[in-house]
């Protein structure tokens, strides 16, 4: 499964080191879709479908599924339209590391979107931290609280991305990346919930991301903390 992800990383790195948020989107999607012993399930929302119906299969997920309440911004202006989760193939004895992904889009047909996903265990956070340090923000120490990278990683190019470490979702370790170049605008937050033994990821795209700031500057730490605050208000699916 992760050989496929490595191919995505190779393409992204050749294009620009400022595209990790795109890779995180691919990571969530490809990890859910999977290969080998995993059988993907995807559910699209038909016209006028209720979110409760779309989330029916999510209730079979073995971990804790976190989702926004209907009043939580910026999700109040979005609607869920796609749910994905993996399954062991019939007869397989392979150990399955479960994942789920919920995609949201603008209710009025705009280009803003968001994703929330979760994976059993801590591995996804560790892989994200490693990729940020070794692939996307190599100008700074791996544990730097804040780091900036330029377009295509080139000296003299405009700043294109920034990372905020040391962020917390409630009391849990988290990392936030912000990308403003190369065909898109993304905020991505990844954190590990030790109590639930789940790694979660929240991604905001386009106009939804714009609401938290669209420049690269250390002062965006406040926006990173706001996004962590949104994540802290996600509620378990009942």
Looking at the structure of the chain, the number of domains it has is 1
Predicted TM-score (pTM) of this structure: 0.81
Query: Which DSSP string do the residues of 175-234 spell out, in sequence order?
Result: EEEEE--SS--EEEEEEEETTTTEEEEEEEETHHHHTT--S--GGGHHHHHHHHHHHHT-
Q: What's the domain range around 103?
A: 2-236
The CA distance from 186 to 180, in Å, is: 7
pLDDT in tens, 35-93: 344 445 665 555 444 555 778 888 989 899 999 998 999 999 999 999 998 765 666 66
pLDDT in tens, 153-182: 677 778 899 999 999 999 999 999 999 987
Beta strands per DSSP E along 86-197: 99-106, 113-120, 146-150, 159-169, 172-179, 186-193
């Amino acid at each position: 499964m992760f050989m496929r992800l490595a191919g995505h990383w190779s393409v992204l790195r050749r294009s620009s080191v400022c595209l990790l948020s795109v890779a995180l989107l691919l990571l969530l999607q490809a990890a859910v879709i999977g290969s080998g012993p995993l059988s993907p399930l995807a559910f699209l929302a038909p016209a006028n479908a209720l979110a409760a119906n779309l989330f029916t299969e999510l209730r079979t997920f073995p971990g804790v599924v976190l989702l926004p309440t209907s009043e939580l911004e910026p999700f109040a202006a979005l609607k869920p339209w796609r749910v994905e989760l993996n399954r062991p193939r019939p007869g397989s004895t392979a150990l399955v590391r479960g994942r789920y992904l919920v995609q949201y889009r603008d209710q009025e047909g705009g280009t803003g979107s968001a994703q929330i996903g979760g994976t059993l265990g801590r591995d996804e956070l560790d892989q994200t931290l490693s990729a940020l340090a070794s692939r996307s923000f190599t100008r700074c120490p791996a544990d730097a609280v804040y780091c900036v990278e330029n377009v295509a990683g080139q000296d003299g190019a405009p700043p294109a991305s920034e990372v905020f470490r040391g962020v917390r979702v409630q009391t849990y370790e988290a990392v936030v990346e912000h990308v403003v170049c190369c065909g898109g605008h993304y905020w991505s937050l990844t954190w590990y919930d030790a109590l639930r033994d789940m790694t979660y990821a929240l991604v905001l795209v386009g106009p939804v991301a714009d609401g938290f700031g669209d420049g690269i500057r250390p002062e965006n730490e406040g926006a990173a903390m706001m996004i962590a605050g949104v994540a802290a208000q996600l509620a378990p699916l009942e």
